[in-house]
């Protein structure tokens, strides 16, 4: 039976710290924008924190924004608000379904729930997070799975990881691939002034240990005498920053440029003007920077790790092996790729990237949310990504 009124979709945005949480910020905002563009769009009820409240109210003026509930820069305070304050407010809002896009969900509630789990990175790379954060996630993520009708994963790799580490039922976890903004393929203006004048290799990644940025810096040092390029690193300091800083200390002055918070138009320009995009990450639940570079028409060198082969397939280059010598050889070969082969690689990457849209992603998410609201979990099968 068709609904006579819009589905009341609650969105648990308490995890969202603008310009801090990485790809999950893009996922949240782009998913909400795509849901809001649907002809059968839901009535959005967004539960905010002190850091994102103004942004959500400005970005989604037709949504009901409830909050701010908490200052979410404090993880313990955010967890308490999610588990204690949010369930009562969600009940009072008369939700049809509550979606938690940031790994964890309330452990009690008066309506069906769906949670998005982006990856299980902390299990594979425990050095990425604090001991307290690991203990909290060891408790909250499996319990969130138990209390949610459905779990959304961004890739088949992430789905396997969720099944391995959380005890989820296979039919409970469905794959909803992410998308890429088509603006990455549209001609952009010049990149920031500090990167102009010489070719450069680009990497977009915070310095989490699993992102492997230090290895890239060491490899760049090995090749720096052979190539005219500079290395441009876009991202913020994280728990792997000390190793990255040590590696940077060995590179000749002026050869590495670091940028932190880059506005979207400048980021697109950085991608498009780069000679190569290099992404040595050892673990990705999806790998959005790889997809953005593919869309931007910049050839990609990366690792065959995590979800990246699902996203890039044969439209990107992969390093064989994890050590510096192997990666240096792969980067040297990439930079020497003949023009014709480079064009073929870029064309294949752009065609592949075009298959990933936020409309399609939100459509699969919407199906999950509607089925959860209808209590139709028994009819589900595991969805397939792009």
**Measured distance CA(105)–CA(148) in Å, rounded:** 8
Q: Is 81 or 189 the better-scoring residue by pLDDT?
A: 81
Domain span holding position 102: 8-179+357-379
Q: Does 385 reside within a domain?
A: no
Q: Are residues 225 and 274 in the same domain?
A: yes
pLDDT at 96: 97
Q: List pLDDT tens digits, range 237-254.
A: 999 999 999 999 999 999
pLDDT at 86: 98
Q: List pLDDT tens digits, range 352-365.
A: 999 999 999 999 99
**Measured distance CA(169)–CA(60) in Å, rounded:** 34
**Measured distance CA(128)–CA(123) in Å, rounded:** 9
Average per-residue pLDDT in the chain? 94
Q: Are residues 171 and 188 in the same domain?
A: no
pLDDT(135) > 50: yes
Q: Are residues 73 and 127 in the same domain?
A: yes
The DSSP symbol for 252 reads P
pLDDT(386) > 80: no
pLDDT at 1: 43
Q: Are residues 206 and 107 in the same domain?
A: no
Q: Are residues 162 and 189 in the same domain?
A: no
123, 100 contact by CB (below 8 A): no
Q: Does 201 reside within a domain?
A: yes
Q: Does 206 reside within a domain?
A: yes
Q: Does 3 reside within a domain?
A: no
Q: Are residues 345 and 362 in the same domain?
A: no
Q: List pLDDT tens digits, range 87-100.
A: 999 999 999 999 99
β pairing state of 173-175 and 200-204: unpaired
**Measured distance CA(93)–CA(8) in Å, rounded:** 9
186, 297 contact by CB (below 8 A): no
Q: List pLDDT tens digits, range 224-237.
A: 999 999 999 999 99
pLDDT(379) > 80: no
pLDDT(384) > 60: no
Q: Are residues 148 and 45 in the same domain?
A: yes
pLDDT at 375: 83
pLDDT at 4: 55
Name the token pair of 303. Answer: 């690792």
Domain count, the chain: 2
Q: Are residues 216 and 321 in the same domain?
A: yes
Domain with 167 in it: what CATH number? Answer: 3.40.50.2000
Q: Are residues 135 and 245 in the same domain?
A: no
Confidence class of residue 376 from pLDDT cuts 50, 70 and 90?
very low
pLDDT at 3: 52
Q: Does 1 reside within a domain?
A: no
Looking at 21-25, 120-124, 144-148, 210-214, which range is the least confident one?
21-25
Q: Does 386 reside within a domain?
A: no
pLDDT(383) > 50: no
Q: Does 50 reside within a domain?
A: yes
pLDDT(2) > 80: no
Q: Are residues 257 and 349 in the same domain?
A: yes
Closest CA relative to residue 102, chosen from 59, 148, 62, 66? 148
Q: List pLDDT tens digits, range 301-325.
A: 999 999 999 999 999 999 988 899 9
Q: Are residues 257 and 373 in the same domain?
A: no
Q: Are residues 306 and 326 in the same domain?
A: yes
Q: Does 36 reside within a domain?
A: yes
**Measured distance CA(191)–CA(269) in Å, rounded:** 5
Q: List pLDDT tens digits, range 274-289.
A: 999 999 999 999 999 9
Confidence class of residue 21 from pLDDT cuts 50, 70 and 90?
confident
The phi, psi pair for 302, rounded to 5°, reads: -150, -175
């Amino acid at each position: 039976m068709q609904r006579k009124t819009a589905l009341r979709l609650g969105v648990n945005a308490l995890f969202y710290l603008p310009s801090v949480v990485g790809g999950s910020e893009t996922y949240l905002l782009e998913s909400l924008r795509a849901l809001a563009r649907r002809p059968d769009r839901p009535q959005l009820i967004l539960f905010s924190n002190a850091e994102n409240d103004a942004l959500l109210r400005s970005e989604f003026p037709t949504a009901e924004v409830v909050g701010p509930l908490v200052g979410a820069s404090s993880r313990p305070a955010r967890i308490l608000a999610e588990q204690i304050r949010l369930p009562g407010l969600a009940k009072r809002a008369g939700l049809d379904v509550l979606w938690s896009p940031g790994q964890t969900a309330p452990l009690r509630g008066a309506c069906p729930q769906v949670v998005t789990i982006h990856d299980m990175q902390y299990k594979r790379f425990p050095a990425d997070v604090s001991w307290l954060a690991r203990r909290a996630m060891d408790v909250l993520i499996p319990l969130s799975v138990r209390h949610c009708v459905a779990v959304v994963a961004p890739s088949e790799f992430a789905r396997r990881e969720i099944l391995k580490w959380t005890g989820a039922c296979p039919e409970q976890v469905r794959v909803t691939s992410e998308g890429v903004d088509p603006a990455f393929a549209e001609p952009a203006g010049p990149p920031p002034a500090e990167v102009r004048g010489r070719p450069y290799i680009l990497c977009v990644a915070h310095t989490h240990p699993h992102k492997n940025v230090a290895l890239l810096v060491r490899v760049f040092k090995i090749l720096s005498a052979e190539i005219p390029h500079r290395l441009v690193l876009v991202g913020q300091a994280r728990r792997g920053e000390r190793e990255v800083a040590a590696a940077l200390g060995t590179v000749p002055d002026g050869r590495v440029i670091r940028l932190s918070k880059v506005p979207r138009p400048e980021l697109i320009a950085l991608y498009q003007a780069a000679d190569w995009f290099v992404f040595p990450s050892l673990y990705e639940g999806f790998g959005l920077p790889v997809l953005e570079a593919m869309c931007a028409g910049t050839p990609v060198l990366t690792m065959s790790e995590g979800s990246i082969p699902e996203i890039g397939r044969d439209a990107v280059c992969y390093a064989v092996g994890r050590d510096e010598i192997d990666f240096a050889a792969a980067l040297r070969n990439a930079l020497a790729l003949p023009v014709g082969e480079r064009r073929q690689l870029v064309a294949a990457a752009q065609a592949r990237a075009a298959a990933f849209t936020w409309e399609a992603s939100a459509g699969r998410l919407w199906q999950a949310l509607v089925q959860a609201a209808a209590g139709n979990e028994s009819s589900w099968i595991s969805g397939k990504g792009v």
